[in-house]
Amino acid sequence: MKMGFVVVVLSALFVAGCAGGDSRQAGTFLNPWCAPDGSVVYTQYSNSKGSYDGVKASPENCPWYKK
């Protein structure tokens, strides 16, 4: 039991360490943003210049969003 827990914790730390780069959260887990095609977006990544210009994900693109 302890060995399985250690493996899970080490795996989570490894994945978190590899997730570097410029990114930001888009919405929340329970209220995510959507791309223009309606697909769910949880993370937005910056362009090669480190800017988020041109990012098109927003809550208005989600089918469940009501104005």
Q: Which helix (DSSP H) or strand (DSSP E) does residue 37 occupy?
A: none
Paired with 23 in beta bridges are: 45
| Mean pLDDT (whole number) for 16-29 | 69
pLDDT tens profile 47-61: 888 888 888 888 999
Between the two ends of the chain, the Cα-to-Cα distance in Å is 49
Ramachandran category for residue 18: left, alpha or beta (phi over 0 → left; psi -120 to 50 → alpha): alpha
Let me know: does 63 contact 38? Beta carbons within 8 Å. Answer: yes
pLDDT tens profile 36-45: 998 998 888 8
DSSP letter, residue 61: G
